[in-house]
Structure 1
């Protein structure tokens, strides 16, 4: 039985200000990494080369389009189409290099977002302010764990004492939660994803070393730092901007909006109201003029017989949403 929004809002207490709450070791680690990446971008203009610039553009496209948008989001999170395992793993590895978390961690957070969208249980609830939904939500691992891993979570002093200690189980893992989520069992059953989860940091480090060997410091600054920071803020704008500014085309109970310029930066993710209206759909740009580069790739993969079971909203479903919207 579905719970009302009021009931969902009562399940989690409001998030405290970052300056007033106690920070866990995970929070400090994530904050340091974010600061370090942003700070290094200051030096990028002084080491500009066209080769480094195009490395950043190509890697931004590969990790953002094939990795985050097609793999992490549409394929793994929503299962809007199927791929052969070798291609599924290849695309998800592109997402690993976006440095936004391993597939298990990313997908668990996103599925929770859709389950409790725009309530206090939403990991990046837009009602808690623009900056919270944009980036500061990743710096509160205690509440993120409480939302995504609520099945294993309790408010006991023992739990809190444990959470504020170093809880990483693997040296080269980068996690934002203190407990295992229970909404990604499909991924946890696969050796590939559990291996990536345990060794996550090794993979972007390996890419950075490779870029340094090929093009020196300019390739690292542009191909890693500038590219990753740009990718962060582009995808974070789907959580913040697209729940605040844009057009609402469908009768969804959340604050999602369609935003054309965010869509350009995220290869089609900006058609966010479309997505929340039809979560199962592999296509987000439902109108011919709504550019959706991820959908064009999926359509090509379907045409050559690689992508199968591609899901799209039916006309009756769209009409039903439209009618409710009009009424």
Structure 2
């Protein structure tokens, strides 16, 4: 596999344009005419729906690692929530994340932290990376599912439909805050898991990589910041192992268990804590 560094990879101008458009459009939130507290509240709500329920609970712990099981309708709902985060297609995202765990912090890792903070945070996705060619190999369990195929292919269209709905409900403030500001914040919160938690924090377990437990990333990402715990025990539905390691996503899984909607929940043994 080709070593992924900015020195030997071509820029992906589609992604660069996409990211620039979203970040620049979010700046319209600075206009007083686009501000109201309802729009801010909407942004916070969708941050949780897309970043918490979608990316963290759905795409990551449920689909990527199969840390627990849900009814198919709920799985599809959570995948849809993640799709609204607009972090690419779900099949592509899951494939890259599985590759990351297989090669964490080594040269084939798409966002190898040894290449620097900027690279692991977002620069890697601005290039055409070799790992893209390996996606099908790592996503055979979901790539044949028509719902996954649709959401993977039309994730931008889903966002446009949501934007039109928000515009109808609250005009441009709802669009600016509910779409663009929210996208930027969820983007960077997710990316901090790739960058900050491989640089800042403490290590509880030996995981043969640079992963660390970072409390402030855990707060921003509903528990994903307990990254050393996760890399040591990737299958575990609970990332916050110690009593002080608050893991809101694990609390959500417990709630789903109480409702009978989460089963076969995988956890580490008491001896491993």
Whether the aligned pair in 1 keeps the contact of 2:4 and 2:108 (CA below 8 Å) is: no
Q: Deviations over 1:281-313 (max 9, x none)?
A: 000001111110000000011122110000000
Structure 1 stretch displaced more, 219-228 or 192-201: 192-201
Structure 2: tracts of 5 or more residues without a match: none
1:129 equivalent in alignment to 2:116: yes
Structure 1 stretches of 4+ moved >4 Å: none
Whether the aligned pair in 2 keeps the contact of 1:112 and 1:148 (CA below 8 Å) is: no
Q: Deviations over 1:81-115 (max 9, x none)?
A: 00000000001100000111221011000000000
The TM-score normalised by the length of structure 2 is 0.96
Matches within 5 A, 1:1-327: 11-13=1-3, 15-17=5-7, 22-23=10-11, 27-46=12-31, 47-141=34-128, 143=129, 146-150=130-134, 181-316=136-271, 318=272
Q: Deviations over 1:184-238 (max 9, x none)?
A: 0110121110121222221001001111111111111100110000001111001
The TM-score normalised by the length of structure 1 is 0.80
Distance change >3 Å, CA 313–CA 255, structure 1 → 2: same
Name the SS for the 2:114 alignment partner. helix
Distance change >3 Å, CA 284–CA 22, structure 1 → 2: closer
Residue 14 of structure 1: how far off its partner (Å): 5.1
Residue 149 of structure 1: how far off its partner (Å): 2.5
Name the SS for the 1:43 alignment partner. helix
Structure 1: tracts of 5 or more residues without a match: 1-10, 151-179, 320-327
- Please give the alpha-carbon distance, in whole angstroms, between the structure 1 residues aligned to 2:37 and 2:67: 37
Figure out how many residues of one structure are paired with residues of the other and give that number: 271
Residue 33 of structure 1: how far off its partner (Å): 1.3
- Please give the alpha-carbon distance, in whole angstroms, between the structure 2 residues aligned to 1:296 and 1:22: 42
